[in-house]
Structure 1
Amino acid sequence: MAVETGTRQEERVEGRVWTMRLAPYGRPSAGAVLLSCSRPACPDQRFPEGTAAGRKAAVAHVNTHLAHIRAGGGPRGEAWCACRAADCAWHTPDPDAGRRSGPRPPAQAARCGGPVVLTVYADRAGRLWRIAETCARCAAATPGCRVLDTAAPSPVRTASARTDQIRTASARTEQTAVEAAAQQQPAGGTAADGVAAVFSDRSPSPAADPSAPAAGPVQVPQARAAVVGAAARPAKRWGKIAQRTVPHDLQPDVLRTELIELGDAFRAYQKRPEPDLALLAELHDRKARAFTLWADISGDHSLRHEAQRAEQAAQTTREMHENRCGSPADGGPAVERLLTRTQAAHARTALGYTAAHTPFPQAEVRLVVLMLALRAARNGTGNVTGQDLTGWLQGDAEPVLEQLVDAGWLHLPGTVAEALASRPEDATAFTVPALLPGQPRPFAFGKTTRSKISGWAQKVLGDRKLRKKKLGPTTRLLALYTAAHTRPDGHLGPAEDDGLDLNQAAAFCALPPDQVAEHAGLLITADWLSEADTTANRLHGRLAERVWPLGGLL
């Protein structure tokens, strides 16, 4: 027996695995990626142009390996299952495991079976690709796994399977054999001595007919989701949502079913090619109600906290949907806005901070202070190029920078001339001492919001029609101020026909109030405002429809 076992192990070989991974390379801001392959003969490949080029190369690399495998005869029938060698960690747990009693059986006994197949797997994030020789049952249990080829049955494996099945059949009692035959006969097995072993591919066991020849090519089973229909499956009693396992005995049944369906719905939403914020807000609302009831039943305070988070997520998602895709009051077209309502409020905070903390009253200085403060809002440091500075102020950039450096508001590592000569690949790092972490924090927004607001201000100042008209810093500050104080229909001010306070608008732009009308007229000629009026000490007006996406909603 020992000799037989040793011979069998020597004749079997380990299943082959090829793994390709895509990982960031170098500085995260550079966007470069590194493609590596588990085969030592394959060198690493670097792609400075980004993830898309890396994924394209990864797919081509996978196809190259597949071509070599097919040229070498395809998958090997005598190979061990590579998934089994990894403790069957490549496929998800059995969804019925939650209602089993006692310890879970070993992965090998519960999963492995059927012929050897060649599979390819790609994760949903587009970062990992795997080619492997596995058994048909593990291939069917692995989500996203595709079977490309089936190995011809190995004579050693067929004989071993036949010997194992006969030994198992002879060890059973007559009653057990009859019951097994009665249960497995409808699945397609053929009884032999009262026993019919049925594999995952629904092919008869070699032990079923000792006189039958070696098994021919078999049909590989499809993934579990494609074989078992929803109508034939009983109601699920096990599931996960928000990294929590739904207890199989949770009562009432309607709550357990809702939680399981919600978990499936969130996972299905993540696979959508395009976002649907209205649907996502509805899912968060359902989650909040379900978790509140779950917390009431179980007394778990963490569930109630999760319900509150879901309520906030639903409200935020709904606001994003209204702000980005909502229609104006006059029934106009839908507008996808650059800033959400919350981000627009933070942008107005940044405008107010600039007006109160600019060391010099000139409009040129205020404009540069605003743009640099937005870049350094998080930790007091940022990067700027000469192209940025000259784009903001044309020929006035050098004296403005010298004023800020002399006043101590801005620190540069070199001279002002070097900062103006810096290029995007070698940007100048600057420091705003008033915004360093040790100082009081004037801004409460995070990294993403800071980037959004900075990009919004850059788009306003770099508007093509404002540049074409060669409007000065004062007029462009007024463009920023009007864009930050709009309603969904493009009108200025928080209430119907209320407009903006003329004195506050003039103070931000470093203008006398009686000169605001002149600069508002310049914005009309640049198609930034469609109308403007400064009567009754108010600035009434409306953004041109072309710049509605830049409007910061009040």
Structure 2
Amino acid sequence: MIAQRLIPHSLRPVVLRDELVELGDLFRAYQQRTEPDLGLLADLHERKARAFMAWADATDDINLRLEARRAEQAAVAARFQQLQRTGHGADGDGPTVARLLAVPTQWEHARSVLAHVADHSPLPGPEARLLTVMLTLRTAHAGTGNLVGQDLTTLGLTDPEGLVGELTCCGWLGIPGTTSDLLASRPENPTTVTVPSLVPHADGSGPFTFGKKMRPKLSGWAQRVVTDKKLRKAKAPAAARLLAMTLATRTSIDGRLGPGGRGVALESLAAWVPVDPEELQRLVDRLTAADWLTEAALTDSHLTGRLSERVLPLTCPLLSSRTAPDRPGQAGHRTLSSEAEMAPPD
């Protein structure tokens, strides 16, 4: 039995049934511990999430799928509790970072927006990608949002008016007047814009799961990143600001780049920040000069290094390399649904 559910003896493949039985035993053993081990508990919840998702696939039981999602959330919560106890450093000695986005669910929502835009970007190039991210964050909940000219002119775009025009011409963005009117908008008289693809369906569903109160928090975080004082002072281009935002969501808890601090794969990074390798090196150099990156190094396969201490409050750490996709559109966790994966060795 696991989670008050009987495991059918007839469940196949056998390796899934055995995994569920073992997990039930491990959870019962954990409950007998005199001292908590949050890292172990998170590992158990992650295993449970994968196993229950496979169980749901095998039986087409939506309740099992919901249980798998609850296990994923429990794993994230356990890891966050562990981080709160140990501080941000890998060795547990560093001070706790007061992040602008304070909890793991907010970090995952920020990544979900970047991933959505990477998969559904209406125009090529890093400038269009950055503007699309910022407009998506302004309109994510209802498909509409307010903009002023300064929202566009502070992004480091070479031709904000022309780019807005392209987004309207292709139908991705709707504005009530001209692009010149939008750029002339001031806080006392903002322009209401619409992104039709983000307007909720009749049942209220949309591409994102966060609510009305979460949207401005995410938008405010992104605005803080792209208008960072040193990036503005260095007149960083839009591509550098897009890279800064992306790397802020691809770090370990102490700011090292990539899952587990092992670096970000260039193949996946190119999906998030669409530039060629030579341009990427120039952008890395710009971020290093702006005290955003330190110890940065580009190899043939990875970007390694860490974010500087001054920007750690803007980071959205990856709590587990096993539950975080390394590229847009990639599954958030490995499942056990494949018969080939689960078959015992010959």
Selected match of 1:341 from 104, 117, 132: 104
SS in 1 for 2:152: helix
Structure 1 gap segments, 5+ residues each: 1-308
Per the alignment, residue 236 of structure 2 pairs with: 471
- Which amino acid in 1 is paired with 2:298? T
- Which amino acid in 1 is paired with 2:273? C
Tell me, yes or no, if structure 1 residue 328 matches structure 2 residue 89: yes
Per the alignment, residue 315 of structure 2 pairs with: 551
User: Structure 1 CA distance, aligned partners of 2:151 and 2:81?
Assistant: 30
Counting strand residues as a fraction of each chain, which structure ranks higher?
Answer: 1
User: Structure 1 CA distance, aligned partners of 2:134 and 2:85?
Assistant: 24
User: Structure 2 CA distance, aligned partners of 1:477 and 1:323?
Assistant: 29
8 Å CA contact 1:324, 1:337 repeated in 2: no
8 Å CA contact 2:165, 2:179 repeated in 1: yes
Tell me, yes or no, if structure 1 residue 534 matches structure 2 residue 298: yes
Per the alignment, residue 489 of structure 1 pairs with: 254
Selected match of 1:517 from 276, 281, 287: 281
Tell me, yes or no, if structure 1 residue 360 matches structure 2 residue 123: yes
Deviations for 1:419-474, whole angstroms, at most 9, x for unmatched residues?
11110011000000000112862111122322221111100000000011111011
Structure 2 gap segments, 5+ residues each: 1-69, 319-346
Deviations for 1:40-70, whole angstroms, at most 9, x for unmatched residues?
xxxxxxxxxxxxxxxxxxxxxxxxxxxxxxx
How many Å apart are 1:321 and its aligned residue? 8.7
8 Å CA contact 1:323, 1:336 repeated in 2: no
How many Å apart are 1:345 and its aligned residue? 1.1
Deviations for 1:187-241, whole angstroms, at most 9, x for unmatched residues?
xxxxxxxxxxxxxxxxxxxxxxxxxxxxxxxxxxxxxxxxxxxxxxxxxxxxxxx
8 Å CA contact 2:109, 2:210 repeated in 1: yes
User: Structure 2 CA distance, aligned partners of 1:528 and 1:375?
Assistant: 25
Cα distance change, pair 516–427 in 1 and its aligned pair in 2 (3 A): same
Deviations for 1:327-354, whole angstroms, at most 9, x for unmatched residues?
3224222211112222111111111111
Q: Which has the higher contact order (CA 8 A, sep 6+)?
A: 2
SS in 1 for 2:188: helix
8 Å CA contact 2:125, 2:275 repeated in 1: no
8 Å CA contact 2:263, 2:304 repeated in 1: yes
User: Structure 1 CA distance, aligned partners of 2:126 and 2:228?
Assistant: 18
SS in 2 for 1:429: strand
Per the alignment, residue 419 of structure 1 pairs with: 182
- Which amino acid in 1 is paired with 2:191? T
- Which amino acid in 2 is paired with 1:327? H
How many Å apart are 1:325 and its aligned residue? 9.0
How many Å apart are 1:394 and its aligned residue? 5.0
8 Å CA contact 1:337, 1:550 repeated in 2: yes
User: Structure 2 CA distance, aligned partners of 1:324 and 1:546?
Assistant: 22
8 Å CA contact 1:503, 1:513 repeated in 2: no
> Which protein is bigger by CA-based radius of gyration?
1
User: Structure 1 CA distance, aligned partners of 2:306 and 2:127?
Assistant: 25
User: Structure 1 CA distance, aligned partners of 2:147 and 2:99?
Assistant: 26
User: Structure 1 CA distance, aligned partners of 2:239 and 2:144?
Assistant: 26
Selected match of 1:502 from 257, 266, 270: 266
Per the alignment, residue 451 of structure 1 pairs with: 216
Cα distance change, pair 323–372 in 1 and its aligned pair in 2 (3 A): farther
How many Å apart are 1:494 and its aligned residue? 1.2
User: Structure 2 CA distance, aligned partners of 1:549 and 1:540?
Assistant: 20
SS in 2 for 1:531: strand
Per the alignment, residue 243 of structure 1 pairs with: none
- Which amino acid in 2 is paired with 1:474? A
Cα distance change, pair 461–511 in 1 and its aligned pair in 2 (3 A): same
SS in 1 for 2:207: coil
Cα distance change, pair 487–357 in 1 and its aligned pair in 2 (3 A): same
8 Å CA contact 1:325, 1:335 repeated in 2: no
User: Structure 2 CA distance, aligned partners of 1:324 and 1:431?
Assistant: 43
User: Structure 2 CA distance, aligned partners of 1:404 and 1:323?
Assistant: 42
SS in 2 for 1:387: helix
Q: CA RMSD in A?
A: 2.5
SS in 2 for 1:426: coil
SS in 2 for 1:447: coil
Deviations for 1:162-192, whole angstroms, at most 9, x for unmatched residues?
xxxxxxxxxxxxxxxxxxxxxxxxxxxxxxx
Per the alignment, residue 36 of structure 2 pairs with: none
- Which amino acid in 1 is paired with 2:241? R
Tell me, yes or no, if structure 1 residue 460 matches structure 2 residue 221: no
TM-score with structure 1 setting the length: 0.41
8 Å CA contact 1:324, 1:335 repeated in 2: no
8 Å CA contact 1:327, 1:334 repeated in 2: yes
User: Structure 2 CA distance, aligned partners of 1:438 and 1:392?
Assistant: 31
How many Å apart are 1:505 and its aligned residue? 1.2
